[in-house]
Amino acid sequence: MKIQSQSPETLCVHAGTFFSEEDGGINSPIFPSTAFRYDQNAAVPYARYLNVPNQEAVTQKVAALEGTETALVLSSGMAAISGAIMGLVKQGEHIVFQDSLYGGTQYFITEILDQFGVAYTLVNQHNVEGFHAAIQENTKLIYIETPSNPLLEIIDIEAIVTLAKEHGILSMIDNTFTSPINQQPAHWGIDVVIHSATKYLGGHSDLMAGIIASREELIQKIKPVAINFGACLDARVCYLLERSLKTLALRIKQHNQNAMEVAEFLMAHPKVEAVYYPGLATHPNHALAKKQMNGFGGMLSFEIQGEYEDVHHFFGRLQMIDRAVSLGGVETITCSPRETSHGKISPEARQKLGIRDTLIRLSVGIEDAKDIIADLERALT
């Protein structure tokens, strides 16, 4: 299907869909074959080669939404992150990345890439000066995540792109927290956009996948690594992901609206000491968030009065909201970053990152905001 529209709502529904002449169905059929008849003059389709129809349906849809030339779909967010970095960075080169990163990414760069002779610098001052100061002669890549986890700090995408271009360095972003509905980093010139599609793109807490969206030239460098690491996504899961993506714009609209209402409720609550949500006018980077985001997303965190124990009392009194890891699903879930994403680091390191024991993270779902707020109210009282 040829789609004229640039509207994300329309692209979510129609981009990438392919039709089977035989059955006349209006959805992409699922092609589970791993053995394909071949033609000696054409590329052989094979799921691990990342070239089967159900993978292409997903990648065309996401590339349309991100505004990139092309994309790859892999079996997890970490497969996308490790594949993209390994495809673009070589031994002897250096990466600059912020110190507040998804735990798996941090582990990959500091513990695994290190074994392959790739150096890195962690930046703790998240403005252009901070990133600039970390650039070395051999820096190949600047890697960011905005909004950051779990404090929802906003990094200036346009400024990072300008800095990277001035130094001939590639830029990469983990766009998981926003989805392409709320933020299109390629629009600002970011070279590579990554997603853990396990989160908002899948959206129902029932599939794992990862996306790398970029221009053809860079995808061609990443592809051989991704193919030979073997983290491909099965046709059946591709279909589930394609199906989920059709409602992405609709879901994100509701996540945005609910999170805003929840953030305002928390702000006004006497038992809450701080709320971290870029949609609030009191957020230190609110103006920047407004500039680079179309919506402020479904993720927020807040600190409650009291001590670590009180976090457990809070969790214990919740009735609808589950204490669970992961994020981006239709259901509201909550966790303590001290116990999950930042559970393995020392109390001193947590303090340095500004992650207090009384911090609670919320992935706000698409239920009726009234019910989410009522549950929070009950647990806070």
Catalytic residue ranges? 48, 102, 174, 199
Q: Does residue 357 belong to the site contacting ligand PLP (CB under 6 A)? A: no
- Do the bridges between strand 210-214 and strand 192-196 make them parallel or antiparallel, or are there none, so unpaired? antiparallel
Q: Does residue 104 belong to the site contacting ligand PLP (CB under 6 A)? A: yes
- Chosen residue from 73, 208, 219, 266 binding ligand PLP by CB under 6 A: 208
Nearest residue to the partner ligand PLP, using Cβ? 77
Q: Does residue 77 belong to the site contacting ligand PLP (CB under 6 A)? A: yes
3-state secondary structure of 137: coil
Alpha-carbon distance of 9 to 321, in angstroms, equals 28
Q: How far is the CB of 98 from ligand PLP (least distance, A)?
A: 12
- Chosen residue from 28, 60, 106, 198 binding ligand PLP by CB under 6 A: 198
Total of chain residues touching ligand PLP, rule CB under 6 A: 15
Would you put residue 324 in left (φ > 0), alpha (ψ -120 to 50) or beta?
A: beta
Stretch that binds ligand PLP, among 28-36, 126-134, 196-204, 227-235 (CB under 6 A): 196-204
Q: Does residue 174 belong to the site contacting ligand PLP (CB under 6 A)? A: yes
- Chosen residue from 28, 176, 244, 292 binding ligand PLP by CB under 6 A: 176
Alpha-carbon distance of 144 to 134, in angstroms, equals 13
Structure tokens at 261: 């209402």
Q: Given CA atoms 310, 313, 318, 323 in this order, what sign does their dihedral have?
A: positive
272-276, strands of its sheet edge to edge: 272-276, 299-304, 359-363, 333-335, 322-323
Helices (H), ranges, the chain? 8-14, 53-66, 77-88, 103-107, 128-134, 157-166, 179-182, 216-229, 235-245, 248-267, 286-292, 308-317, 347-353, 369-380
Q: Within 10 Å of residue 49's Cβ, how many Cβ atoms? A: 14
Q: Does residue 183 belong to the site contacting ligand PLP (CB under 6 A)? A: no
Alpha-carbon distance of 211 to 206, in angstroms, equals 16
Q: Does residue 146 belong to the site contacting ligand PLP (CB under 6 A)? A: no
Alpha-carbon distance of 309 to 339, in angstroms, equals 12
Q: How far is the CB of 179 from ligand PLP (least distance, A)?
A: 11
- Chosen residue from 199, 269, 283, 338 binding ligand PLP by CB under 6 A: 199
Q: How far is the CB of 100 from ligand PLP (least distance, A)?
A: 11
Stretch that binds ligand PLP, among 50-58, 73-81, 92-100, 154-162 (CB under 6 A): 73-81
- Do the bridges between strand 139-145 and strand 94-98 make them parallel or antiparallel, or are there none, so unpaired? parallel
Q: How far is the CB of 53 from ligand PLP (least distance, A)?
A: 23
Stretch that binds ligand PLP, among 12-20, 133-141, 192-200, 251-259 (CB under 6 A): 192-200
Would you put residue 275 in left (φ > 0), alpha (ψ -120 to 50) or beta?
A: beta
Largest separation between any pair of C-alpha atoms in the chain: 71
- Chosen residue from 74, 78, 142, 163 binding ligand PLP by CB under 6 A: 78
Q: Does residue 94 belong to the site contacting ligand PLP (CB under 6 A)? A: no
Q: Does residue 210 belong to the site contacting ligand PLP (CB under 6 A)? A: yes
Q: How far is the CB of 176 from ligand PLP (least distance, A)?
A: 4
Nearer to ligand PLP, 299 or 379 (CB): 299
Number of residues that this document lists for the chain: 381
Nearer to ligand PLP, 61 or 199 (CB): 199
Q: Does residue 100 belong to the site contacting ligand PLP (CB under 6 A)? A: no
- Chosen residue from 97, 102, 131, 200 binding ligand PLP by CB under 6 A: 102
The dihedrals phi and psi of 77, each to the nearest 5 degrees, come to: -60, -40
Q: Does residue 196 belong to the site contacting ligand PLP (CB under 6 A)? A: yes
Q: Does residue 172 belong to the site contacting ligand PLP (CB under 6 A)? A: no
Among 234, 131, 249, 162, CA closest to 200: 249
- Give contact residues for ligand PLP (rule: CB under 6 A): 76-78, 102, 104, 145, 149, 174, 176-177, 196, 198-199, 208, 210
